[in-house]
């Protein structure tokens, strides 16, 4: 009988021998595999080169291009037109039957700041106190908010994220709807200061917001307070300059509020005024002209009553949500829908906004609703693409499909403003983004449930 120790020793030798033979045979296979990978890499598309071919191109600026090509290099559009030469190694996307649009821009939202409005722990769009010019929306942005991929899947590629609350709510930020951190999403960190004036809803005869009266006295007080803050900021800057010229003079004590308002009084940072009633709009126009600051109006529910005055002042308007009732019932049930139409016809530059994270996906339908009430369709499309870019001074880099601009492209199977249109692909700065989201997850979940029955 063979001892157990000898059996174990022999099995060890056999195992080592088998392992050596396996490794010897594996070596050539590794070399062959490496060569195969190298050969395949040569044939793969070069990173940063993209060609979208045979699409109907709606550049927004200029004429439509049937069966056209968009060439993308790195993050920017290289060329747009017909019969373009496609660079060797470019990734080619066949877009026959699809329409190419510039990605849409949500001009005012709390996207990424509010997750569930009824859960306080997920609401981070306002700071305590009434005067907060130092607050920046980007600091509270939740980059992995579930609302972001939902909006992105419907063709929205960028959003103005704005704080709320108080008189001076803080500084809004323009973000792209793609990125692993909030800083990675930033297009422009300090986009505009947000000032919220008293609303028109509620008030006398204001049950459920119907028939509310303009709070003119409160607006007077708010503008007077803002005037004092701007005067204080100017004096603060004057003392700083005097101390810099004369070393014998003491530097003024640091004042955070005044310091943060300096870009406003210097005209470097525009102010978004959330203003509502016609009387308040007129007051705010006078205030802006007296203070010589750059202004953008937001909401302007009764802007249609003073459209000529707004046009004369040269102040662009961001239209608030159209998913609402008129703040003053006497204005008519359709006053909110007609408001952007009247403003546009008067020559006021307008842009649409979702105003909330859950409604961000519906941005094109706000424009569509205005189009249904008389807004020219091309103007409606511009109001979610190039006009927002122009209002915020970023039309040189985004808002349309033109060479040199960021490659923010949406491929759809029809009219971007139609409810039944399907978004097939979205590119943000030349990168195709994932369109899966909470809605698609639930769709697949319940499709699977049906199959299991």
Q: Looking at the predicted structure, is the pLDDT value of residue 91 above 70?
A: yes
Radius of gyration for the chain, computed over Cα atoms and rounded to the nearest angstrom: 29
Predicted pLDDT at 199? 82
Residue 134 · residue 82 · CB < 8 Å: no
Identify the CA nearest to 162 among candidates 104, 117, 110, 105: 110
Confidence at residue 201, expressed as pLDDT on a 0 to 100 scale: 58
This prediction has a pTM of 0.86
Determine the pLDDT at residue 324: 87
Are 430 and 75 a contacting pair, CB within 8 Å? yes
Residue 90 exposure: Cα atoms within 13 Å on the Cβ side: 21
Phi, psi values for residue 27, rounded to 5° = -60, -50
- Return the SS3 of 79: strand
CA angle 449, 452, 453 (to 5 degrees): 95
Tens digit of each residue's pLDDT (9 = 90 or more) over 240-249: 999 999 888 8
d(CA 383, CA 381): 5
Instruction: Report how far residue 103's alpha carbon sits from residue 156's, in angstroms, rounded to the nearest whole number.
Output: 6
What is the number of alpha carbons within 13 Å of residue 161 lying toward its C-beta? Answer: 34
Pick the more confident residue, 403 or 200. Answer: 403
Residue whose entry in the numeric block shows the structure tokens 């807004």? 375
Rounded to whole angstroms, the Cα distance separating 100 from 451 reads: 35
Cα distance between residue 70 and residue 65, in whole Å:
10
CB 363 within 8 A of CB 354: yes
| pLDDT tens by residue, 302-356 | 999 999 999 999 999 999 999 888 888 899 999 999 999 999 999 999 999 998 8
The C-alpha atoms of residue 281 and residue 134 are separated, in whole angstroms, by: 26
pLDDT at 385 over 70: yes
Nearest to 322 by CA among 347, 271, 356, 289: 356
In contact, 337 and 372? CB cutoff 8 Å: yes
Write down the pLDDT at residue 26.
40
- For 274, phi then psi, to 5°, come to -80, 105
Q: What is the DSSP string of 316-364?
A: -EEE--SSS--SSGGG-TTHHHHHHHHHHHTT--EEE---SSTTGGGHH
CB atoms within 10 A of CB 407: 24
Write out pLDDT tens, residues 132-143.
999 999 999 999
Query: What integer best gives the mean pLDDT of the chain?
Result: 88
User: Residues 351-380: pLDDT tens digits?
Assistant: 999 988 999 999 999 999 999 999 999 999
Per-residue confidence (pLDDT) for residue 36, from 0 to 100:
31
Note the pLDDT tens digit of each residue in 187-242. 999 999 999 999 875 443 333 444 444 454 489 999 999 999 999 999 999 999 99
Q: Is the dihedral of CA 355, 365, 385, 197 positive or negative?
A: negative
- In 3D, which of 393, 430, 425 has the Cα closest to residue 410? 425
Taking the C-alpha atoms of residue 144 and residue 112, their distance in angstroms, rounded to an integer, is 8
């Amino acid at each position: 009988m063979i001892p157990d120790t000898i059996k174990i020793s022999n099995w060890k030798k056999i195992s080592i021998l088998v392992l050596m033979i396996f490794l010897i045979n594996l070596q050539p296979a590794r070399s062959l595999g490496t060569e195969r990978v190298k050969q395949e890499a040569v044939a793969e598309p070069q990173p940063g080169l993209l060609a979208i071919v045979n699409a109907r191109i709606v550049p927004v600026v200029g004429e439509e291009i049937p069966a056209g090509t968009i060439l993308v290099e790195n993050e920017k559009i290289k060329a747009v037109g017909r019969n373009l030469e496609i660079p060797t190694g470019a990734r080619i996307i066949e877009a026959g039957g699809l329409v190419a649009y510039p990605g849409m821009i949500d001009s005012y939202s709390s996207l990424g700041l509010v997750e569930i409005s009824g859960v306080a722990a997920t609401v981070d769009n306002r700071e305590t106190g009434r005067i907060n010019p130092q607050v920046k929306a980007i600091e509270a942005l939740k980059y992995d908010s579930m609302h972001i991929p939902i909006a992105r899947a419907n063709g929205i590629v960028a959003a103005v994220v704005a704080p709320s609350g108080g008189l001076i709510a803080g500084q809004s930020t323009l973000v792209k709807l793609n990125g692993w951190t909030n800083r990675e999403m930033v297009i422009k960190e300090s986009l505009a200061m947000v000032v919220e004036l008293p609303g028109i809803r509620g008030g006398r005869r204001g049950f459920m917001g119907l028939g509310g009266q303009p709070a003119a006295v409160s607006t007077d007080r708010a503008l007077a307070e803002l005037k004092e803050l701007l005067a204080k900021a100017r004096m603060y800057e004057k003392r700083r300059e005097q101390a810099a010229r004369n070393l014998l003079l003491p530097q003024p004590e640091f004042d955070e509020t005044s310091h943060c308002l300096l870009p406003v009084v210097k005209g470097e940072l525009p102010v978004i005024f959330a203003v509502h009633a016609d009387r308040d709009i007129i007051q705010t126009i006078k205030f802006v002209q007296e203070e010589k600051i750059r202004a953008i109006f937001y909401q302007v529910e009764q802007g249609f009553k003073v459209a000529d005055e707004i046009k004369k002042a040269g102040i662009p308007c961001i239209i608030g949500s159209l998913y609402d009732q008129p703040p003053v019932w006497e204005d008519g049930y359709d006053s909110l829908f007609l408001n952007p139409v009247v403003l546009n016809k008067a020559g006021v530059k307008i842009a649409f906004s979702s105003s909330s994270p859950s409604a961000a996906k519906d941005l094109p339908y706000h424009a569509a609703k205005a189009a249904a009430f008389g807004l020219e369709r091309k103007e409606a499309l511009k109001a979610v693409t190039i006009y927002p870019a122009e209002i915020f001074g970023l039309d040189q880099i985004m808002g349309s499909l033109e060479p040199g601009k960021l490659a923010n492209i949406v491929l759809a199977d029809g009219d971007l403003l139609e409810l039944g249109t399907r978004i097939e692909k979205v590119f943000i700065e030349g990168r195709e983004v994932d369109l899966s989201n909470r809605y698609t997850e639930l769709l697949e979940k319940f499709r699977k449930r049906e199959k299991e029955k």
